[in-house]
Amino acid sequence: MKQNSRLDFAQARSLIIGELSSAGITNPLLEADMILSSLLCVTRAYLYTHPEKILPGTFQRSLSGILSRRKQREPLQYILGFTEFYGYRISVGHGCLIPRPETELLVEYALEKLGGDYFLDWGTGSGCISVAMLKEKTSASCMSVDMSSLALSWAWKNMKSHCLIDRCLLWHSSSLQDMPVEDLSLDLIVSNPPYVKSDVIEDLMPEVQIFEPRIALDGGHDGLSLCFQLLGWCARKLKRDAYVLVEIGGPDQAEILKNHQFPGLYLEDIINDLSNIPRMLSWRRV
């Protein structure tokens, strides 16, 4: 991009769309709007209603930086530093999984199934699930656990910016055994564990495969190793009739879990996402 040419908003948008398209980015129109509105701190509507406004020179330099990172296929959410999840702004960057829209479904069901006030969010990553649930249910508190200290630093940032730090215990652990959870103490467990099969990670889009943390994606040979650990451990920690809700990767995983009996747990529901793919399972403590 030429630094000395004066671009108006409409020209800047066309330039961004052209550069992103040539780099093979699939949704260049949306991304162009996101880049410009976040850079200029204005709404998308403002961009459309003020196409003749000139982009200040300093923004043109920032724009060059953003485009060169995005053309390397770094996720836009990492570059801008945030994403939206369940209507809340979640800070994200290297070391945490970018919250996906499918996971909003998990939050919706978790809120529905949360009978009491205390829940465990296992594999919290950016903390997006905990943030959304604590914001929606103001009497609730939680323990949010992750095996990555880098991810937990994002969760901490998000708890802090949403003023939730006093309602959440952030716990760094890769072992279920060393978590301070009393027997029969939990009203709900919610988890979006790593569930991608190890051998398909190489086939994922570059944004995911190169930039997102493998530790947050890799669920072992069938994608279910973390899920099995959790379901084998959790029954005695849950109160009677409390639920455990887990996000999964699709029909194969649903089938495996459906055919497995976890002591103390009754499989109640398999819920499909908006693309009609089995995305979430819920068990009740019996």
Return residues touching ligand GLN (CB under 6 A). 100, 192, 194-196, 208, 217
Spatial contact of 48 and 4, defined as CB atoms under 8 Å apart:
no
Is 264 in contact with 235 (CB distance < 8 Å)? yes
Beta-carbon count within 10 A of 230 CB:
18
CB of 194 to ligand GLN, least distance (A): 5
**Residue number with CB closer to ligand GLN (38 or 225):** 225
Inter-residue long-range contacts of 57-65, CB under 8 Å, 24+ positions, other chains counted? 57/3, 60/1, 60/3, 60/7, 60/12, 61/3, 63/1, 63/12, 63/16, 63/35, 63/39, 64/1, 64/3
CB of 225 to ligand GLN, least distance (A): 12
Q: How far is the CB of 48 from ligand GLN (least distance, A)?
A: 31
Residue 272 CB, shortest distance to ligand GLN, in Å, is: 15
| Block residue for tokens 């836009």 | 76
- Which DSSP state fits 275? T
Measured torsion, CA atoms of residues 157, 162, 163, 167, in degrees rounded to the nearest 10: -90
Show the tokens assigned to 192: 């979006």
Whichever of 6 and 214 has its CB closer to ligand GLN, that residue is 214
Residue nearest to ligand GLN (CB): 195
Q: How far is the CB of 246 from ligand GLN (least distance, A)?
A: 10
